[in-house]
Structure 1
Amino acid sequence: MNIVVCVKQVPDTTEVKIDPVTNTLIRQGVPSIVNPFDKNAVEAALQLKEKHGGTVTVISMGPPQAKEALKECLAMGADEAILLSDRAFGGADTLATSHTLAAGIKKLENVDIILCGKQAIDGDTAQVGPEIAEHLGISQITYVAKIEVEGKTVRVEREHEEGYEVIEASMPVVMTVVKSINEPRYPTIKGTMKANRREIPTWTAQDITIDEKVIGLKGSPTQVRRIFTPPQRVQGQVIEADTAREAAQILVNKLAEAKIV
């Protein structure tokens, strides 16, 4: 079974810097980590490999520094890592990013399962995984909390607000996983030393044979108009009363005074 995990390197801080001209994140000088949800995806892939055999390949689109994130995944136990990096990929929105990742996955061939974290903590869109499935023309299951494999069929528990849905799909399939699916393992010292010696291949736009009209800024139908840090929420007020009816009346009065009701 061949498993591909899409990972992203994200800023490791809530105080991100914003470029006022491009309205994008300034990543230079900002500590970066593997997107936490993607670590859950890597762990899920490793557990499937341990149970059913196969290989785990991690793939990421980003600048050269994203190799550090890939090396961490290799230290966790992934077999191979590939970086998609090219100036032509710069400025991509989720659609352009998914086009690039899908093209990279197509080059790998014979992929059975593609795993992604449910979303990236810097963008929080949860769009890239489903878009990859659309470009590849294969099934997708989002918010996966448990995975079972039997032959060429996956059976999962999909998390939602009221509980879980049990869904089956045939391979190949794209799945995005939630945090509750597992607890990611820590890289071992031996694994880290081995990963640091690995040479991670870098694929450019020419290597993955993709139309440059669908990648980078050219292939991005959406653009960021403004990024800002939301104001800190004002702490609420606790209403104290002898009975629930009195508390409700006090609340209604306060809402009326604020002209909310």
Structure 2
Amino acid sequence: MKILVPVKRAIDYNVKVRVKADNTAVDLTNAKMAINPFCEIAVEEAVRLKELGVASEVVIVSVGSKVCQEQIKSALSLGADRGIQIEAPDNLDSLQIAKVLQKVVEQECPQIVLLGKQSIDSDNNQTGQMLSALTGMPQATFASKIAVTSDKVQVTREIDGGLQTLELLLPAIITTDLRLNEPRYATLPNIMKAKRKPVDVIDASDYVLNLTSNVTTIRVTSPIVRKAGVKVATAAELIHKLKNEAKVIP
């Protein structure tokens, strides 16, 4: 069984994000970049399935300029087998990415495509769903548990009312939630091994796709700075502040 794991290069979640002075985008100058955290969870789950003997190969794919090979190598150091870089602009939207991934799926014929449910930069949460529509493969989103049999996969997903379990026929597309697993740290020997693992480079133009975006970024702004809270000593003081300062009760 082959598992295909798309990963996205994103700003490290520990980095404080800065917005450019002209409000056109996030300032990535000298910013530390990493694998999108949800994608890292997908990599971890794929590697675990391989360690269990369920999967025979884990393939990493990333769409973007050459710099995304850094994240491909990071995924290879976690236990994946080989990587694919699709040479393309770094600012493609979700539908464009899904169209490119559709071509990769057609080439690689994986039994499972395992994606992070969303990226922490755009927060769109739609690439997996769009890929499912384009490929016609069944999907299960927000997975918190995955169990694979010979030709089926059971996915437990968290919903507002509790847990929902879906059973999909393979091949299938699954997007991962935070509680699916805790990603491992790469060891030095595995980092050295990752340097010898193959990474194929394919130009997106080879797929003859219309990658014209229908999405326009109008303005990027920093979040509104919230005022610090205050502590109150008694319930009476709380009621007084809610009534006279916050004016949220009559």
The alignment's TM-score, normalised by the length of structure 2, stands at 0.89
Q: Distance in 1 between matches of 2:244 and 2:167?
A: 51
240 and 28 in structure 1: CA distance in 2 versus 1, 3 angstrom threshold = closer
Task: Report if the CA contact (8 A) 2:144-2:157 is conserved.
Answer: yes
How do 1:51-200 and structure 2 match up within 5 A?
51=52, 52-86=54-88, 89-109=89-109, 111-200=110-199
- The residue number in structure 1 matching 2:4 is 4
1:223 to 201, 216, 223: 216
Residue by residue, what CA displacement relative to the aligned partner does 1:173-223 show, whole Å, maximum 9, x if unpaired?
A: 11111121111112122211121234421111233x232x2x1xx2x2111
Residue by residue, what CA displacement relative to the aligned partner does 1:77-104 show, whole Å, maximum 9, x if unpaired?
A: 1011101113xx4532111122122222
2:234 to 237, 241, 254: 241
2:208 to 204, 207, 210: 210
Q: For this pair of structures, how many residues does the alignment match?
A: 247
Q: Distance in 2 between matches of 1:58 and 1:19?
A: 35
Q: Distance in 1 between matches of 2:21 and 2:4?
A: 33
- The residue number in structure 2 matching 1:24 is 25
- The residue number in structure 1 matching 2:244 is 254
1:35 CA displacement: 0.9
Q: Distance in 2 between matches of 1:232 and 1:10?
A: 23
238 and 29 in structure 1: CA distance in 2 versus 1, 3 angstrom threshold = closer
Listed as ranges, the gaps of 5+ residues in structure 1 are: none
Q: Distance in 2 between matches of 1:70 and 1:125?
A: 22
- The residue number in structure 2 matching 1:35 is 36
Q: Distance in 1 between matches of 2:7 and 2:79?
A: 14
Task: Report if the CA contact (8 A) 1:34-1:69 is conserved.
Answer: yes
Task: Report if the CA contact (8 A) 1:93-1:223 is conserved.
Answer: no
71 and 90 in structure 1: CA distance in 2 versus 1, 3 angstrom threshold = closer
Q: Distance in 2 between matches of 1:37 and 1:195?
A: 21
Return the letter of the residue paired with 2:76. Answer: L
Partner-residue secondary structure (3-state), 2:75: helix
1:161 CA displacement: 3.3
Partner-residue secondary structure (3-state), 1:83: strand
Listed as ranges, the gaps of 5+ residues in structure 2 are: none
Task: Report if the CA contact (8 A) 2:41-2:183 is conserved.
Answer: yes
